[in-house]
Amino acid sequence: MKAMILSAGRGERLRPLTDHTPKPLLKAGKHRLIEHLIIALVNAGITEIIINHAHLGQQFPDTLGNGEQFGATISYSPEQQGGLETAGGIINALPLLGEEPFLVVNGDIWTDYPFEQLSKLALQNNNLAHLVLVNNPAHHPDGDFSLSSGSLSQQGSEKFTFSGIAVYHPTFFADLDVQRLALKPLLLASITKQQLQGELYQGQWSDIGTIERLQQLNEQLVSE
């Protein structure tokens, strides 16, 4: 299975840090955010990695190279300034991702999720994607999706937060042109067709969207 790390965002809430450094290249503990993810993916046996980039994009290949230092093979999917949003970025990278299901993970999260579970995942029935949900953090108390018997819905009384970790079949994005395109409308449309499966992960996960959360993660990792 190949993996894509989404890294094209501007990181407005992390300014001024992101004025000079893309958000996934900010450090927490001994490594940059994206390096934590690369290391975890490689440890899970996922070594073919695609990284999209836009804001200060050349810093990614300059810093990470071809992935050899991590035991990985890294390819890059550049986007114009401003990026293509999540779905647009994935569609743009489809030629690199191939014809088999692939893993996508946000480049601005930190987690101890066991990615090897997803490397062995088989999408069930007519499902086109498998999303990892987490308990709602304080900054997102209302959640995104409900989960019932392994299927995602919008109807349940309890909603959980989409972690930014998912496996997609390429046909999830079939017939869509490269354009600036958000992911959530596509997810909602697939939910109505009962094409999304998922799981609830209750281990460590953090969305590093603010300077305060970056500082908290750094303090946690330094103390470990």
User: What is the reported pLDDT for 197?
Assistant: 95
Residue 165's nearest CA partner among 72, 103, 93 is 103
Residue 37's nearest CA partner among 108, 97, 118 is 108
User: Domain segments of the chain: what residues?
Assistant: 3-223
User: What is the reported pLDDT for 210?
Assistant: 94
User: What is the reported pLDDT for 149?
Assistant: 87
Which parts of the chain register pLDDT below 50? none
Read off the tokens for 201. 């992960």
Class of domain 3-223: alpha beta
For residues 41 and 36, what is the distance between their CA atoms, to the nearest angstrom?
Answer: 9
User: What is the reported pLDDT for 120?
Assistant: 82
User: What is the reported pLDDT for 119?
Assistant: 86
- Whole-structure pTM value: 0.95
For residues 146 and 212, what is the distance between their CA atoms, to the nearest angstrom?
Answer: 29
User: What is the reported pLDDT for 124?
Assistant: 77
What is the residue-wise DSSP string for the chain? Answer: --EEEE-----GGGTTGGGTS-GGGSEETTEEHHHHHHHHHHHTT--EEEEEE-TTTTHHHHHHTTSGGGT-EEEEEE--TT--HHHHHHHHHHHHH-SS-EEEEETTEEE---THHHHT----TT--EEEEEEPPPTT-TT-SBEEETTEEES-SSS-BEEEEEEEE-GGGGTT--SS---SHHHHHHHHHTT-EEEEEE-S-EEE--SHHHHHHHHHHHHH-
Tokens 């894509």 correspond to: 4
CB 216 within 8 A of CB 117: no
User: What is the reported pLDDT for 222?
Assistant: 86
Read off the tokens for 61. 């290949």
What is the pairing mode between strands 196-201 and 129-134?
A: parallel
Q: Cβ contacts of residue 146 below 8 Å, gap of 6+?
A: 152, 153, 154, 155, 156, 157, 158, 159, 160
